[in-house]
Amino acid sequence: MTALATPYYLIDKAKLLQNMEKIAYLREKSGAKALLALKCFATWSAFETMRDYMDGTTSSSLYEVRLGREKFGGETHAYSVAYADNEIEEVISHADKIIFNSIGQLERFADKASGIVRGLRLNPQVSSSTFDLADPARPFSRLGEWDVARVEAVMDRISGFMIHNNCENADFSLFDRMLSQIEEKFGALLKRAEWVSLGGGIHFTGDDYPLDAFAERLKAFAGRYGVQVYLEPGEASITKSTTLEVSVLDTLFNGKHLAIVDSSIEAHMLDLLIYRENARIEPDTGPHEVMVCGKSCLAGDIFGTFRFERELKVGDRISIQDAAGYTMVKKNWFNGVKMPAIAIRELDGSVNLVREFTYADYEQNLS
Ligand SMILES: Cc1ncc(COP(=O)(O)O)c(C=O)c1O
């Protein structure tokens, strides 16, 4: 078998299923429903592997809600920071439930959405994020309503709430504490709700996460307020399932050993650049230190500095870890760099190429 040409994203079904099984266990133990957050991962070729383990999808836009309805199925939640007049009817046509970000949007579109379940985003003004770019509780945040009296006034038009204030939170006790703060602040509203979505950002599929304690906490919360709990896992659904496979195109020594690969952090793993994080390579323990760089013109197009077992040479392949979340959804055509193909490693070990991108895709991206 000849190896696929790089660059390509490789989704490993067996690894994806490990996350799915934890999600299914949590649903069973807690009674909570789990919706895939498409903003994080929307590679629909993988949906057939995920569908049986999750209840549906949640979205951030018209196109996401449509993709969720058409490609995933199940329960389809619509949410957006703001909907436009010219899209709201189509959004509603694809959704079982619509969650408005503000009372202004709710009042504007409540009547149009009266045929589906309606809800409102609440902002508890506490979050697990320390990075203001990703902190929904940052000062002057536009993400959700916080004034209980104002929300009480529109309760006749909604039956539930979405609260997303966790961010890459792998600490159960922090989740627990923040949920208690939510209960303190919004308890009276929660008692009047039929459902509450606690959003995403909870890393409960991680190795040491206390899943049973988490399930108990969700179940107790659901019982206390008489609500159906939802979770919206993005990252937790796909973590560690996918790599970006690249090849070395050139090596240089400029005081440090450098390798240039046939990919670009700016084009193919943009999230890392935005959050100023390094990529991950495993293992990363050998004697040869090399800075792995992308091929775009950006001076800082650098995946990171890693330790390899031997010197890198042209043609060597490298697997960059954790390339699914907020990665494939953000890939772009900067510099016209060849877009990574998408491949899936099946359970029997065979690799299926599911999508290749060509010059025509690049050209049609603009006009
Ligand atoms: C409303 C909402 N739900 C779910 C998610 C998914 O979060 P994560 O991928 O961290 O689980 C996000 C992420 O920003 C979000 O804003």
Domains of the chain: 13-237 (3.20.20.10), 242-323+331-365 (2.40.37.10)
| The pLDDT value given to residue 307 | 98
Q: How many A from CA of 359 to the centre of ligand 1?
A: 33
In DSSP terms, 79 is beta-bridged to 99
- What is the Rg, in whole angstroms, of the alpha carbon atoms belonging to the chain? 22
**Ligand 1 atom closest to Cα of 232?**
4
The C-alpha atoms of residue 34 and residue 29 are separated, in whole angstroms, by 12
Binding site membership of 91 for ligand 1 (Cβ less than 6 Å): no
Contact 120, 197 (CB under 8 A): no
Closest ligand 1 atom number to CA of residue 203:
11
- Distance from C-alpha of 323 to C-alpha of 269, rounded to nearest angstrom: 7
Strands (E) located in the chain = 8-12, 33-37, 56-58, 75-80, 97-100, 117-121, 160-162, 195-197, 228-231, 242-253, 257-261, 288-293, 302-308, 317-320, 341-345, 351-355
CA of 232 to the centre of ligand 1 (A): 6
Measure the CA–CA gap between 149 and 138, rounded to whole angstroms.
21
Does the annotation list 271 as a binding residue? yes
Residues with Cβ < 8 Å from 86, sequence gap 6 or more? none
DSSP-H helix ranges across the chain: 13-30, 47-50, 62-67, 88-94, 103-109, 148-152, 172-191, 211-225, 235-238, 265-268, 270-274, 359-364
CA distance 178 to 135: 14
Q: What does the pLDDT profile of the chain (367 residues) look like in tens digits?
A: 568 999 999 999 999 999 999 999 999 999 999 999 999 999 999 999 999 999 999 999 999 999 999 999 999 999 999 999 999 999 999 999 999 999 999 999 999 999 999 999 999 999 999 889 999 999 999 999 999 999 999 999 999 999 999 999 999 999 999 999 999 999 999 999 999 999 999 999 999 999 999 999 999 999 999 999 999 999 999 999 999 999 999 999 999 999 999 999 999 999 999 999 999 999 999 999 999 999 999 999 999 999 999 999 999 999 999 999 999 999 999 999 999 999 999 999 999 999 999 999 999 999 9
Rounded to an integer, what distance in angstroms lies between the CA atom of residue 292 and that of residue 279?
10
Residue 271 CB burial class (10 angstroms; 0-12, 13-18, ≥19): middle
**Which atom of ligand 1 is least distant from the CA of 237?**
11
- Dihedrals φ, ψ of 244, to 5°? -105, 115
Helix H, strand E, coil C: the string for 62-75 is HHHHHHHHHHHCCE
What integer pLDDT is reported at residue 1 of this predicted model? 54
The answer to whether the beta carbons of residues 154 and 103 sit under 8 Å apart is yes
Q: Ligand 1, residues 19, 35, 39, 328: which to mutate, most atoms within 8 A of Cβ?
A: 39
Mutation pick for ligand 1 pocket among 19, 33, 40 (CB with most ligand atoms within 8 Å): 40
C-alpha 237: how far from its chain's center? 8
Distance CA 61, CA 84 (A): 10
235 annotated to bind ligand: yes
> Positive or negative, the Cα torsion across 18, 23, 24, 29?
positive
pLDDT at 3: 87
Written as six digits, the tokens of 220 are: 């107790």
Task: Quote the tokens at residue 292.
Answer: 């792995």
